[in-house]
Structure 1
């Protein structure tokens, strides 16, 4: 049979069930067409890029799987976000039988060394950051003998996503799973002391952190101060990073020429102020690869061989890749008079 993936890599997924997790969060259980099911195999911690049409606009957003790959139906969980067009649309209108279009799973927030690592898994989740963490926890408990410890922070008890599933997992794996709930309404925001206390005596462990930026910054700084090696920290950021103070989309030296190589084509374009390298490629008629367009998946990565560019957001490339010249073209703005970029 011919795969049902569209030209831009999206497939229609039917909503099998809608599960109301809290008053402002919903899970969608998705049915993947048989003819492209192999394209939707995923690792715990990965996400889907979902494309929906709202008020005549095609919009794309990334949502993590909250299910685990082993013997579970594909499920994403979406929390309502004030001002969030797609998250609010899903929470308000998504219904059983509806279709969403999604591209195959992506993301690097996965279990280190797959599921074979013997190291303990220590996870810190804040609010909806529990979504990929839940996938990781479920996979680790199902596929390994690793001990798992979860620190889960929420503003209040009523905002705890997966309250009942976590309670069941704790009961089923009492010898391996420890869950500590933190409520801001009782204890204030999470402090570095609380983080260090929870991670104390963890030994040689793998750490996973996901949630609001201030929460993640506190956890990361506390763990590093406690002596946890940076390579043991795995972070997944949901929010768009703010542009650092003093940095704008303008450059001191205006870009005059962009050279782009893709699929044996080489084009030269004048740069339009404020446009990313991906937008420039599209302006020249190139079918440049892209998916999430939020700086999260890495699909649009290319290498700069001459000149320089600044990424507004980078949640996909590591430091070594950036040093080698790789950029996310959907987030890259030129910072030199000439930029030569190659899609490899």
Structure 2
């Protein structure tokens, strides 16, 4: 099955001020509604100072409850894309975006859903909560950590959901300026008797690491990271091995000899091409391409679905050839 073009245009129909530094962009893709699952994200391409920049942002909408596609962006100090979106995009403008993707989605289960969010990490967690409340009978409990009251995102939205589902949704807020930073004891106290619950975690890396190490289990833990994975490997000479890597990108084709333990993205760069990429941690799918010859194994895959992998798609920042020759097509 052919995958649609990586980027398409979407018109911004509304902009909602969620907090002092967070905005929701309501989007109308030019090709019509995009299918997606709660918890997924899109990667946006914007041009800043004559340079194309890519960033991934989660959907704050859910297909079960919202007729419109929404993504929420928090302004980050020094953030080139978040600040550009806040300062330059108005209603009626168009943005370039990928189709929604990602694996931070609800699994079929009857256990409670425990959502842990730090700051703007509430965005995909809200999407999951909406979906679970509308489409299942699961209880949903959220622990939302924010710097202070002015930093809280979706306060009114969550209050409305609590009013609609008083027996199934509870929201616990933790404000750092009032109670200090969240700690392991507070996380375990929040989990309480729901140790079998599915925990979904999104936020700054230290927050995520704390939650993931503190949730007692045996329930499963799912995390969503953007650019917070392991650091990019330092460039070093790699031993050549038998075989070739062929890359098709933007009307150009290049073939280079394989090198040991070199990713497909690194091979493409070595071939003089400029493939798309963003996080280089296996989280965002910006670098995805399709294998038309050979096989590759991904070190990390937190973005592609099982169906996409079966169709031959691979995260080139994580894919290492496991056959002598491979051919990769960036679509």
TM-score range (shorter-chain normalised) is 0.7 to 0.9
Secondary structure of 1:123 counterpart: strand
Q: Which residue of 1 aligns with 2:27?
A: 30
Residues 172 and 71 from structure 1, CA distance in 2 versus in 1: closer, same or farther, beyond 3 angstroms? closer
Report how far residue 140 of structure 1 moved: 0.9
Q: Could you list the per-position Cα deviations for residues 59-95 of structure 1 after superposition, in whole angstroms to 9, with x for gaps in the alignment? A: 2111100011124110000011122111110111211
Distance 2:40 2:32 in 1: 16
Matched, 1:56 2:60: no
Matched, 1:11 2:11: no
TM-score, scaled to structure 2: 0.81
Matched, 1:210 2:212: no
Report 1:1-344 matches (<5 A).
8-33=5-30, 36-37=31-32, 40-72=34-66, 73-113=68-108, 117-223=109-215, 226-229=216-219, 232-243=220-231, 248-250=234-236, 253-255=238-240, 259-260=244-245, 268-270=255-257, 277-278=264-265, 280-281=267-268, 294=280, 295-298=282-285, 299-300=288-289, 315-316=302-303, 328-331=315-318, 340-341=325-326, 343=328
Distance 2:324 2:235 in 1: 16
Aligned residues: 313
Residues 91 and 83 from structure 1, CA distance in 2 versus in 1: closer, same or farther, beyond 3 angstroms? same
Secondary structure of 1:189 counterpart: coil
Secondary structure of 2:56 counterpart: strand
Report how far residue 118 of structure 1 moved: 1.9
Distance 1:199 1:61 in 2: 32
CA contact (8 A) 1:303 1:327 kept: no
Residues 228 and 58 from structure 1, CA distance in 2 versus in 1: closer, same or farther, beyond 3 angstroms? same
Residues 120 and 207 from structure 1, CA distance in 2 versus in 1: closer, same or farther, beyond 3 angstroms? same
Secondary structure of 1:58 counterpart: strand
Secondary structure of 2:64 counterpart: coil
Secondary structure of 1:195 counterpart: helix
Q: Which runs of 5+ in 1 are unaligned?
A: 1-5, 319-325
CA contact (8 A) 2:60 2:127 kept: yes
Distance 1:301 1:207 in 2: 32
Distance 1:144 1:30 in 2: 26
CA contact (8 A) 1:291 1:300 kept: no
CA contact (8 A) 1:81 1:88 kept: yes
Distance 1:197 1:214 in 2: 19
Q: Which runs of 5+ in 2 are unaligned?
A: 306-312
TM-score, scaled to structure 1: 0.78
Residues 199 and 293 from structure 1, CA distance in 2 versus in 1: closer, same or farther, beyond 3 angstroms? closer
Residues 301 and 163 from structure 1, CA distance in 2 versus in 1: closer, same or farther, beyond 3 angstroms? farther
Report how far residue 228 of structure 1 moved: 2.3
Report how far residue 271 of structure 1 moved: 7.4
Distance 1:93 1:203 in 2: 45
